[in-house]
Chain A
Amino acid sequence: MTLLHLAWKSFLNRKGTLLMMLLSISMSVVLLLGVDIIRQQAKEGFSSTVSSTDLIVGARSGQINLLLYSVFHIGNATNNIRWKSYEAISQDASVKWSIPLSLGDSHRGFRVLGTSSAYFQHYRYGAKQRLSFSQGQAFDGLFDVVIGSEVAKQLGYRLGSSVVIAHGMGNASLMKHDDKPFKVVGILQATGTPVDKTLIVSLAAIEAIHVDWKSGVQLPGSKVTPEQVLNMDLEPKQITAFMLGLNSRLSTFHLQRKINQYRNEPLMAILPGLALQELWGMFSFVEKTLFAISALVVVSGVLGLLALLLSSLHERRREMAILRSVGARPIHILTLLILESLLVTVLSVALGVGVLYLVMLYAGTLIQDQFGVRLVVQSLNLWQWQLIAMVVAAGALAGLVPGYRAYRYSLADGMSIKL
């Protein structure tokens, strides 16, 4: 029976109050680690939205704006770019592949992306993963549409479902391209990126549904039927942006400069990695605030423990005096209280980590549905272990205060018991 054993027995004797404390500290540990895990995984998910793409090119604006509308499908382009510019640049010797992107239409709140078959071939996300189909295949016919997993799930679409694309954004768009409905031919696997919330059609289809439109409205009396449109020249005149993959990364900056100085049209090329970093940097204060709040919750938990230990000290003077009478020295009493506080924090941390993993295991899908953050169950990283060590150290420190008080008491009381 060591001091630890004694501390444990004493703990069990007062388990009612201490258990509440344990729960409160473990919840604060859940919060602290949970915030950090979500932060870390959101950052990973965020920066893995697009990979392997060397340059993104759009109309001249800001690099974050361009990144937001081309990759995250948030906001709108300030301007479109000419198809001819795309053709010219994509034929540059250093370009290995290119993906044209045409945005602007929507379907029940989800963005519609017009692109070429190169999208399915070359677009990469995460650890250079390519898009794969859970059902069906890429579009082939003019009115074929491939939908992201979220679109399929939320709208309940299957292969063969009919889709009417609305002009512009918004759920209640009055102007619909309902004369030219699309058919779902492919459903993509979930990627955890904005692709999940996108409907993908060919550039020609975007052109086809706008063939009888001008300045955002359908021209009255000049309806072109889907049959007629098949025989028309559907080469797009303009697109929103395009992605480039290069033969050699070394030529990235050279080509970027070349595009930025393109004479025929004001264009801008950005490096997605850098732009993603800059964008994430804008969120860093949120990240820091969340961390500060969760750290304060831990501090309040530890302070609660301190208050509890201090308040229980008076009624435990008898216990201390008995220990002194059987030969315990004041240093033993001090050690005992620190051990007790350590015991509570270590158990709290263990419980907290346990709860956290249970939540990640069982509520992971719920969190992904609600917040779009994919929680991958993985082991704690070094920083998270350091956080845990800090919590335990704080617990030990909290034990030091009542420990010192008890030390002083036991020096003053000796073996005499004051009830």
Chain B
Amino acid sequence: MRASQLDRFRADHIGFIFQQFNLLPFLSLLDNVCLPCRFSAKRRARAIEEFGSVEQGAEALLARLGLAEASLYQKDVAALSVGQQQRVSAARAILGAPEIIIADEPTSALDTESRDQFLALLLSQCELSGSTLIFVSHDSSLEHHFSQRAQLMPSANGGYSL
């Protein structure tokens, strides 16, 4: 695929959750969640099919992830706690039901209790939207949550391989 086709494919089929959340600080909570659906027509269409509109979808997902207070939605994300921010970024990845969700150490900034809570929420939402979750972590104690496990080994060229 060409670079632009890759871009399109990624926008349509993959949602990301990062270790550092990567929310845009100048957008409201709701705007951040809706962002991927602005760039991908497919995810927008799926969100509308599932929830009626992108905004309603965002609100529904946030509510499911435990951010039900509507007063929060128009706030800047900077006003949220770490745990709340990570849930917002999860909602952003899930909205529009991409086939694959890649989570890159999303729990490393969370304490044990909120880690387990977050993971449970994330897994249940992925199941609801039918997305495959690829979860990257150093924490082997989370292993029992997942159906498959792949271990990366340092390779000769300086990267990692299976």
Contact = CB atoms under 8 A, between A and B. Distances in A.
Nearest to B26: A13
A1 B39 contact: no
B35 interface: yes
B39 A326 contact: yes
B119 interface: no
Interface string B61-96: 000000000000000000000000000000010000
A325 B11 CA distance: 8
A9 B16 contact: no
Contacts of B25: 13
Contacts of A332: 39
Contact of A327 (B18, B23, B27, B39): B39
Contacts of B24: 9, 319, 322-323
Interface string A318-361: 11011101111110100000000000000000000000000000
A409 to B, nearest CB: 14
Given A9-B27, A9-B31, A329 B92 contact: no
A322 B11 CA distance: 12
Contacts of A13: 25-26
A367 interface: no
A10 B23 CA distance: 13
B36 A326 contact: yes
B53 interface: no
Contacts of B11: 326-329
A170 B12 CA distance: 85
B22 A322 contact: yes
A411 B6 CA distance: 12
Contacts of A379: none
A2 B26 contact: no
Contacts of B139: none
Contact of B38 (A1, A322, A330): A1
A329 B31 contact: no
B7 interface: yes
Contacts of A318: 22
Contact of B31 (A1, A327, A415, A417): A1
A304 B23 CA distance: 30
Contacts of B34: 1
B16 A325 contact: yes
Contacts of B151: none
A376 interface: no
Contacts of B39: 326-329, 332
B22 A417 contact: yes
A307 interface: no
B100 to A, nearest CB: 13
Contacts of B23: 322
Nearest to A318: B22
Interface string A377-419: 0000000000000000000000000000000000100010100
B3 interface: yes
Interface in B77-133: 92
A416 to B, nearest CB: 10
Interface string A163-183: 000000000000000000000
Contact of B35 (A10, A12, A326, A329): A326
Nearest to A3: B38
Contacts of B8: 329
B18 A325 contact: yes
A10 B7 contact: no
Contact of A411 (B3, B10, B27): B3
**Max chain B CB contacts within 10 Å: which of A1, A321, A330?**
A1
Given A1-B35, A2-B38, A318-B22, 19 more contacts: A1-B34, A1-B38, A9-B26, A9-B27, A321-B22, A322-B23, A322-B24, A323-B24, A323-B35, A326-B11, A326-B16, A326-B36, A327-B11, A327-B40, A328-B11, A328-B39, A329-B8, A332-B39, A417-B22
Interface of B: 3-4, 7-8, 10-12, 16, 18, 20, 22-27, 31, 34-36, 38-40, 43, 92
> Shortest 6 CB-CB distances between A and B: which pairs?
A327-B11, A327-B39, A13-B26, A326-B36, A329-B7, A326-B35
